[in-house]
């Protein structure tokens, strides 16, 4: 007979899932497959990721080196649009002037936008993982389990986010990330597609994607190769869309 949520055992302790996702991700996902839903498994890492986004936004607009670099980056983007005929030189100058006059409002907008983006990323990513595993591998678990799967996996992203903020502050540039973009550190151009591709080769993103793949394989009871391959295909698609639509910086 199928167990109801109240008959299922409770989810493992948060501390155990955190240690397991780093030491033994397979065990971490196996331990949550047939347990009661647990919001803490995805809510805690999501809130911490939001805190990292908030802190990085504040540093971006209060640290002199980062603030100067941000303005220069925006100026290059505006000039590229002028060259492409998407805006006039006058409009570009007005946009730069408006940005300078906003002051602290930019921080507020950045924080609100960042929090919305984090929430959308968590719920959206879980939805995609659920649909992929359900349609391709006929996995029977519901959406909330994939939210837990994604939440557990993002503890790797949380660690990567902390390291990224430290690198940005230590090196004085917002392009200092644990990625292949370190090869062009000091010459990084956010309008250069190749530089964006290098930035996508982030150590923690790759690690997190592999762990998500292990989770997909555990939930679908398919081989690790199938789950990991699916996860990296999704990462490649997201990277291509981010670069193509200008989300990537």
Residue 1 has pLDDT above 60, yes or no: no
Secondary element (H or E) of residue 182: none
Tell me the domain boundaries of the chain. 38-244
Residue 179: DSSP 8-state: B
**pLDDT tens digit string along 17-73?**
999 999 999 999 999 998 999 999 999 999 999 999 999 999 998 999 998 888 888
Q: Which of 209, 163, 169, 201 is nearest to 182 (CA)?
A: 201
| pLDDT of 117 strictly over 60 | yes
- Per-chain mean pLDDT for the chain: 91
pLDDT of residue 35: 93
DSSP 63: S
Task: Please report how many Cα atoms fall inside a 13 Å half-sphere around the Cα of residue 105, on the Cβ side.
Answer: 6
Between 170 and 7, the higher pLDDT residue: 170
Spatial separation of the C-alpha atoms in residues 205 and 132, rounded to whole Å: 19
Q: What are phi and psi of 179, to 5 degrees?
A: -140, 180
Contact call for residues 117 and 96 (beta carbons, < 8 A): no
Cα–Cα distance between 217 and 136 in angstroms, integer?
11
Token pair for residue 215? 């989770």
Asked whether the predicted pLDDT for residue 230 surpasses 70, the reply is yes
Report which of 211, 163, 204, 210 is spatially closest to residue 17, judged by C-alpha positions. 211
């Amino acid at each position: 007979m199928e167990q109801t949520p109240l008959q299922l055992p409770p989810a493992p302790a948060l501390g155990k899932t955190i240690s397991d996702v780093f030491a033994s991700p397979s065990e971490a996902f196996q331990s949550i497959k047939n347990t009661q839903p647990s919001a803490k498994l995805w809510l805690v890492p999501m809130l911490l990721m939001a805190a990292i986004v908030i802190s990085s936004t504040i540093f971006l607009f209060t640290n002199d080196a980062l603030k100067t670099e941000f303005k220069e980056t925006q100026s290059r983007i505006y000039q590229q649009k002028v060259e492409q005929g998407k805006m006039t030189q006058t409009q570009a100058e007005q946009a730069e002037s408006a940005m300078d006059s906003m002051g602290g409002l930019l921080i507020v907008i950045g924080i609100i936008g960042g929090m919305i983006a984090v929430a959308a990323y968590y719920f959206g990513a879980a939805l995609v993982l659920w649909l992929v595993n359900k349609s391709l591998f006929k996995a029977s678990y519901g959406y909330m389990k994939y939210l837990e799967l994604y939440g557990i996996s993002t503890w790797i992203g949380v660690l990567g986010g902390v390291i990224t903020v430290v690198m940005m502050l230590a090196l004085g540039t917002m392009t200092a990330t644990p990625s292949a973009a370190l090869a062009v550190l000091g010459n990084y151009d956010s309008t250069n597609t190749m530089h964006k591709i290098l930035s996508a080769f982030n150590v923690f993103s790759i690690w997190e994607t592999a762990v998500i793949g292990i989770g997909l394989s555990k939930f679908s009871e398919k081989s690790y190769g199938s789950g990991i391959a699916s996860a990296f295909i999704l990462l490649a698609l997201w990277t291509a869309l981010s670069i193509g639509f200008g989300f990537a910086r």
